[in-house]
Amino acid sequence: MIDLHTHSIFSDGVLIPSELVRRAEVLGINAIGITDHADASNLDFIIPRIVAVAERLNRVNHIKTVPGIELTHVPPSQIGPLAEQARSLGAKIVVVHGETIAEPVVPGTNRAALSADIDILAHPGLISEEEVAIAAEKGIFLEISARKGHSLTNGHVAKLARKQGAELILNSDAHEPSDLITEQQAREIVLGAGLSQDDFERMQKNAESFL
């Protein structure tokens, strides 16, 4: 089981990175991405610290820690430049906080994210079929989310991804220990989105590409 979208105290999570990683390991997670929320105000503060702690943890842990970032509620015109900056600072996963129906994300965020150098468009809400086609063309993963609120549109995302050939990835978007999910829970979320066990296995292979 691989989970590439989680949060620590460097944004709105409740755990320091070391405990977040340990909690995930106990649940049987083999690799975890720490992708704290960022905009222009804190990007250069968060990423070097996550990179540094990931390097230390990976020397001694069996679970792999992957440093990343989630660009969140960023004005669409700033997503591209901030994604480039995130890469230069060492982020191995660049996630953009998509147009979830659970929050007032600026319209146009999904489209701007898909035009940028990113890896995952998280909880993209009622994403359009045209945007899903762009994701498929560019090889950007669309997220099936385990997080309440964000997960309400999983079925919509799954249906269009299947139609357009876009690749999916499953993440917890964990902010606290109870948000982390086991492999069995992950499989159930995938089935609940109208997908199959084979789709779950494919999502895990997609996640492995970051390792």
The answer to whether the beta carbons of residues 2 and 29 sit under 8 Å apart is yes
Per-domain boundaries in the chain: 2-208
* Cα–Cα distance measured from residue 65 to residue 210, given in angstroms and rounded to the nearest whole number: 11
Provide the 8-state DSSP code for 110: H
pLDDT at 89: 98
pLDDT at 13: 98
pLDDT at 99: 98
HSE, side-chain direction, 13 A CA sphere, residue 160: 21
Q: Tokens 């994300």 sit at which residue?
A: 105
| Rounded to 5°, angle at Cα 129 from 115 and 161 | 90
* Cα–Cα distance measured from residue 11 to residue 175, given in angstroms and rounded to the nearest whole number: 9
Stretch 2-26: mean pLDDT, rounded? 98
| Cut 0.75: pTM above it | yes
Phi-psi region of 141 (alpha: psi -120 to 50; beta: other; left: phi over 0): beta
Q: What is the pLDDT of residues 154-211, one digit of tens each?
A: 999 999 999 999 999 999 999 999 999 999 999 999 999 999 999 999 999 999 998 8
pLDDT at 157: 98
How many CB atoms within 10 Å of residue 159? Answer: 15
Q: Select from 3.40.50.720, 3.20.20.140, 3.30.70.20, 2.60.120.260 the CATH code of 2-208.
A: 3.20.20.140
**Which sign, positive or negative, has the C-alpha torsion 128, 132, 134, 135?**
positive
Q: What is the pLDDT of residues 95-137, one digit of tens each?
A: 999 999 999 999 999 999 999 999 999 999 999 999 999 999 9
Q: What is the pLDDT of residues 17-63, one digit of tens each?
A: 999 999 999 999 999 999 999 999 999 999 999 999 999 999 999 99
pLDDT at 55: 98
